Amino acid sequence: MRITIFAPGKVHLLEIAGVRDALFEANCKTGPGRSYRVLLVTEQGIAEESASGVTFVPDAGIADAIQACDTLIVVGPYGLPTRPSDDVIGWLRKQALSSRRYGSTCTGAFLLAQAGLLSGRRATTHWQYAERLATDFPDIRVEPDRIFVRDGPVFSSAGVTAAIDLAFSLIEEDHGRALALWVARRLVVFLKRPGGQSQFSEALTSQAVGTGPIDRVRLHILESPRADLGLEALADVASVSPRHLSRLFRAELGMNPAAYVELTRVDMARHLLENSSAPIKAIAHAAGFGSTTTLRRAFLRIIGVTPVDYRQRFQTTESPDTRTDESAAILS
């Protein structure tokens, strides 16, 4: 099965290596006849420097990589990619439309979008650039908090390490869950990681710096998460009517004030779970949730895991009290 990976300049090397290592591990189990044959392609086919400074050598340039592939994967560069050359756009279109499936990792979605290959499709990209993708290409239905999106023969994955999630998905599709799980265990990563990209975003990225009504409200929410944050109370902070505040939130943030309050409280709780050993009950209180039950429900709905599971996987501080705290939280 021929897998062609196209890499632009200043690529995140992990996106190439993660996919190739996962496919290599799969090959170790499947044997000849069912194995993947991977071709790494760049525009010129010469040695390239990755974003981290490591030089890599592709297998071919686009002028030589003319054979149709089963699967085309377009990986992303550091930051937003520049518009590819007409030659690259033509090659991407020909390869994609003659393949069984095609897609992108991270900001590689922008290259497919610029080639017109994501029009009318659902897709995702790195959380930091999802809004830009939706703005620049309004015909794409961007799902910013998804690790992986599949829309018919088209797939896309989120930032950098999500390329490994993509590889697992392809292996599972081709060879079944058992092999995908075996590869995940070999690489010591989740077969299906919990939650969405929100758990990897910077804590409290919504801190306000402006002076408009929305900015005053956002800052108030951050500074007083335990206060009354109902619509009328927030409208008083903004000095506008409740109806007008709701319109402002939908226009600027795409959600109502209540949803924004909950997301901010979840982000606060997430930050505390990652960086402290405070009891779950104390974290629920500090983030403005009325109880651990309310906190748990919000985490399950927004992130997809419980606060306890989140702490187990993402806590960055060592604490001798964590195990006791988690046991108590399960009972709450």
CATH code for the domain in which residue 239 is found: 1.10.10.60
187/284 same-domain check: no
pLDDT at 196: 57
142/221 same-domain check: no
173/269 same-domain check: no
pLDDT at 326: 37
Identify the three-state secondary structure at position 74: strand
Residue 203 lies in a domain: no
CA-nearest of 82, 75, 81 to 160 is 75
Residues found in the chain = 332
268/121 same-domain check: no
CA-nearest of 76, 193, 168 to 129 is 76
pLDDT at 203: 38
What is the C-alpha separation between 161 and 117, in angstroms, rounded? 23
Q: Is the pLDDT of residue 193 over 70?
A: no
pLDDT digits (tens, 9 = 90+) for 88-115: 999 999 999 999 999 999 999 999 999 9
Confidence of residue 330 (pLDDT cuts 50, 70, 90): very low
100/64 same-domain check: yes
pLDDT digits (tens, 9 = 90+) for 43-76: 999 999 999 999 999 999 999 999 999 999 999 9
Q: Name the residue with tokens 């910077």.
A: 202
Domain containing residue 225: 213-331
140/32 same-domain check: yes
Pairing of strands 2-6, 37-42: parallel
Q: Count how many domains the chain has.
A: 2
pLDDT at 160: 83
256/185 same-domain check: no
Residue 310 lies in a domain: yes
Q: Over range 205-223, report the average pLDDT.
A: 72
Q: Over range 276-284, report the average pLDDT.
A: 91
Q: Is the pLDDT of residue 80 over 70?
A: yes
CATH number at residue 151: 3.40.50.880
Q: Over range 297-315, report the average pLDDT.
A: 85
The single-letter code of the amino acid at 238 is: A
Q: What percent of the chain has pLDDT over 90?
A: 60
285/167 same-domain check: no
pLDDT at 195: 53
Residue 318 lies in a domain: yes
Neighbours of 91 (CB within 10 A): 22
Q: Over range 276-286, report the average pLDDT.
A: 92
Q: Is the pLDDT of residue 152 over 80?
A: yes
pLDDT at 190: 65
Cα distances from 69 to residues 41, 97, 240, in angstroms, run: 12, 10, 58
Q: Which of 144, 165, 193 is the last residue of a domain?
A: 193
Asked whether the whole model's pTM tops 0.95, one would answer no
